[in-house]
Amino acid sequence: MSRRLIESAGLMPIHDKVMAGERLTYDDGLALYTHPNLNALGALANLVRERMNGNVTYYVRNQHINYTNVCNKGCKFCAFYAQKGGPDPYTMSIEEVQNRLRMHLDVPIKEVHMVAGINPKLPYSYYLDLLRAVKAIRPGVHIKAFTCVEIAEIWRQANKPLDEVFADLREAGLDSLPGGGIEILSDRVHMELFGRKLSGDQWMEISKAAAKAGLTQYATMLYGHIETVPERVEHLVKMRALQDETGHFVTFTPLSFHPEGTQLADLPHPTGDGDLRALAVSRLMLDNFQHIKTFWIMNTPQVSQLAQWYGADDLDGTIHEYEITYQDGDQGNKKQVLTRRQLIGLIEEAGRTPIERDSFYNQVHADDELDDPVRRSNPQSAAIPLAMAR
Ligand code: SF4
């Protein structure tokens, strides 16, 4: 069935390469990204997805903390940082961060994910204290924190060699770096949208230094703003080459751009076609990434459910609070949560097998339902409330 679909779409030459485990070229990537038949693309990506990860879809119980929205970078695509007419500035004290963690202590969270703006007033000690404070409240939790842009600022504050900075951060509790920070590896887009941040080359250098320090990292691509399709494919090819060199990336996540509240507010919103296409092409091009994630906060739970048949094998997690992207521009609403039961429902309804994971995709065997108010109040219901995408 899927072979007929792929054949009728004229994708057999790429199909044959995929089946032979041959690496796809930049031109293949371009042909896939611009192909009119999204379902054929999905069928092709699904062949790789099932070869690499079977019928399983992963999810994680995690908590996000965005410790400050004060930022001196002024990226045009960003609605998160404090600016006139935008969100009020905040910087969490160490105690506030600990209180956020205490709010969810009844949930067996495996990963705390911390990223934020670049607040030049924060001293080096703040970042080390932040990591120690998280481990004090949740010993054993995996801390995924600080994009390469934050690492550059932490390095500047530390005023010592980068390898020593990474050693300090690791000693204080840092386990891995998230993706993000570079958005898309294109000098043109960098200059137009986020010229005050690291260049692509600088981002790559910090990423390589993180790998050398023994840290794993998670890679992303922000798409749907002013970048072109060739720039997207170039980004994938460059990330694949970096992974060949370091092998330290665990997952790749394409992130759709949401224009609300940004300086690019007149650009169109993401579409289901665009999101599924980005996932499928990523799965096909990134043969050295084990996992492709659909981030439901940006793709919506509904599109993320379908994405399990378009290359994605990971739905991310419970999140709890997220202050960076708002589906409807409602910046007062920081609650963005899916319970474990809701994640399982999204996966099972799509015909996949849910597996709770830790940050390295080891299976977590959980028998609790403590994080699940829907399940507790009505055991029959795993329905997803309409508001959950907010
Ligand atoms: S994307 Fe990050 S670095 Fe850029 S303005 Fe927003 S918070 Fe600052």
Q: CB of 193 within 8 A of CB of 225?
A: yes
Residue 172 DSSP label: H
Cβ of residue 135 lying under 6 Å from some atom of ligand 1 = no
Cβ of residue 80 lying under 6 Å from some atom of ligand 1 = yes
- Helical pair 38-53 and 272-285, crossing angle rounded to 10 deg: 50
Indicate which atom in ligand 1 lies nearest the CA of residue 194.
4
Helix (H, G, I), strand (E, B) or coil at 242: helix
Q: What is the pLDDT of residues 204-214, one digit of tens each?
A: 999 999 999 99
Q: What is the pLDDT of residues 140-165, one digit of tens each?
A: 999 999 999 999 999 999 999 999 99
Cβ of residue 232 lying under 6 Å from some atom of ligand 1 = no
Q: CB of 18 within 8 A of CB of 218?
A: no
Cβ of residue 83 lying under 6 Å from some atom of ligand 1 = no
User: What phi and psi values does residue 253 have, to the nearest 5 degrees?
Assistant: -130, 110
Best of 80, 156, 260, 262 for a ligand 1 pocket test (most atoms within 8 Å of beta carbon) = 80
Residue 168 DSSP label: H
CA gap 338, 64 in Å, rounded:
13
- Residue nearest ligand 1's atom 7 by CA: 117
Q: What is the pLDDT of residue 339?
A: 87
- Residue nearest ligand 1's atom 1 by CA: 78
Q: What's the mean pLDDT when you consider all of the chain?
A: 91
- Residue nearest ligand 1's atom 6 by CA: 78
Cβ of residue 86 lying under 6 Å from some atom of ligand 1 = no
Of 40-44, 139-143, 306-310, 364-368, give the lowest mean pLDDT range: 364-368
For the chain, helix (H) and strand (E) counts, in that order, are: 15, 10
Indicate which atom in ligand 1 lies nearest the CA of residue 72.
8
Of 94-98, 278-282, 329-333, 364-368, give the lowest mean pLDDT range: 329-333
In the chain, the domains with their CATH numbers are 56-371 (3.20.20.70)
CA of 102 to the centre of ligand 1 (A): 27
- Residue nearest ligand 1's atom 4 by CA: 75
